[in-house]
Amino acid sequence: MTILDALTDRELFGRLPIFRDLGSWHRWFAFLKALFSIPMTAEELLIYAHHTGREAPPAVPPTEVYVCAGRRSGKSFISALVAVFLACFRDYRPFLAPGERAMVLMIATDREQAGILLRYVKAFLASTPMLAAMIEREMADSIELANRVTLAVATCSYRSVRGLTLAAAICDEVSFWRVDGSNPDHEVMTALRPGTATIPNALLLCISTPYSRSGVLYEALREHHGVESTDVLTWKATSLEMNPTLSSVIIEKARIQDAAAAASEWDAEFRSDLEAFLSAELIASCVEDGCHERPPCEGTGYTAAVDMSGGGPDASTLAIAHAERRGSEAPRVVLDVCRGWHTANVEGVVAEMAEHLGRYRIGSVVGDKYAGEWVPSAFKRHGIAYRHATRNRSEVYIELHPLIATGRAVLLDHSTLLRELRQLERRTGRQGRDTVDHPLRLHDDHANAAALALVEVAARATRVTPDFRHVIRTIRPRPSQWVNIAVER
C-alpha cells in the first residue's frame, strides 16, 4: 500500500475530515509521490518540475529530502502523516537485532512544537481503528507499536539522537533549531546519519520555513535544487501554493508591514536582510583553548563593563579586559573575566562584582543606561563609579567585528559567551543601515558585556598610543622625566 492509497482509503487516513476534500492537497500529493517514487500524472510532473527545478522524478525513493515552504502551508501535518505511514506500513523487523526497535523520530525546535507533532501523530492513530490496535504503550514523548517500531518526538539535541536505530528522522522547522543560543542543525545531522545506516532506505526529511542564508536547509537548496544528477531531493514552495485555502489579504498586509519578513514567512525566500554576524570559525580562531579566566597581573591596566538585569531569564554580567602592546602593531585586546549572575538581587550582584573589580584594581565600570540611576547608585555604594556607554549595543558589536576578524581580540574558553557570539544576527534596515542583535527569545548578556569591555579597551589603546608618541616627539624629555609623564597620563 502506498501513502496515497492510505490517504484515499475511508478506512484509513481518508476517515479524517481534513482529507474529505482533497482538492487543496494536490501539490502535497505531488510531493508525496516524489518522496516515495510513485508514478505521477502529467499535471503532477509539471508541479514537480516547478517546485524542484528538475525534469525527471526520482526513480527510487530519495533518502535525504529538504522542503522549504512558507508558514501555514501544512508542513507539520505532512511531517506527522509521513511519520505515521512509515511507522505503521513498513516492516523493519528483518533488519533489527533481538530486542532492538526501529524508531521513527520527529525532531522539533522546542517542547511546545514537539507536543504539537505528537498530537498530530496521536490523532492519525486514534482516528483509524486498525492503526490504534497497533499501539502497545504510550509514554510522554513516544508511542510503541506492536511491529517493533517506536514513534517518538524530541527537541533538537545532537546528544539525545545518538545511539538510535532510525527508520526515519523527520526534522521539523530545522532553520530555527537553537540550543542555548547556538544553531545545532549540522551537529544533529551528523549525529543522525549513522542511526540510519542499518535500515535500507531510511529517510532523513528536513522540512522548514526558511530563515537566514545559513544552515543545512539553505546549503541543501544551494547545492542540490534544480540539479538532476543528485540523490538529494529539494522542494521549494510558497504558502499559497501548498495551501490555497489561506487568505491572500493577510499575506499582502504582511508584505506591506515588512517585505523582507513576509518574503521569508510566506514566499519561502531566505532572508537577504539577515545573516550571521560572526562565523563560528572566526570566533574559534580568537579563543585561547582551556583558558576560562585570567588572573590579574601587576602593572596591567584593566577595563570593566557590565550588562545589568533586573531579574527574569536575563543575567547580570561582568567582563574585564586589557590591552597588550605588540611593538609597532596595533595592540591586542584580551578578555580576562566574563561572569554572569541569574538573580534579581542587584545589591548582592553588585557586591560580588565589586570584589572582582577590587582584585583587578578597577575603580569604574561602563554600562548602558538600563533602569535609570539605580544601577550607578548601587555601584557607588561600593566605591565604584558607573559610566554610561557612548555606543549602543549594536554599535558595540559592529566595532567588535574587526577586532575578531583581524585576530586582535583574544577570547576566553567560555561556552555561554561563545554561543551568544555565534548567534548574533546582522540585519539590514530599510535605509540600508546595519544593526546587530540577538534573535528573538534568546540572550546576549555575556556577549554584550564582553564586547563592550573589548571595544572600550581598543578605543582607549588606540587613543592613548598616538598621543603618547606625540609627547615623546615634541617635548623629548630627559630620562628623569619619564616617570612624571607616565604618572600624569
User: DSSP string of 310-374?
Assistant: -STT--EEEEEEEEEEETTEEEEEEEEEEEEE--S-HHHHHHHHHHHHHHTT--EEEE--TTTTH
Q: How confident is the model at residue 280 (pLDDT cuts 50, 70, 90)?
A: confident
Calpha distance 171→169 (Å, rounded): 6
Look at residue 486 in the predicted model and tell me its pLDDT.
Answer: 39
> Domain extents for the chain?
3-272, 280-481
Instruction: Give 330-386 pLDDT, tens digit per residue.
Output: 889 999 999 999 887 888 999 999 999 999 999 999 998 775 678 889 999 999 999
Look at domain 280-481 and name its CATH class: alpha beta
Beta strand pairing call for 149-155 and 64-69: unpaired
What CATH architecture does domain 3-272 belong to?
3-Layer(aba) Sandwich (3.40)
* pLDDT tens digits along 172-206: 999 888 654 455 688 888 888 998 999 999 999 99
CA distance 262 to 271: 9
69-92 pLDDT, tens per residue? 999 999 988 999 999 999 999 999
Provide the percentage of residues in the chain whose pLDDT is more than 70. 90
Question: What are 354's three cell numbers?
Answer: 565589586
Write the burial class of residue 214 (CB in 10 Å: 0-12 exposed, 13-18 middle, 19+ buried).
middle
**Is 0.75 surpassed by the pTM of this model?**
no
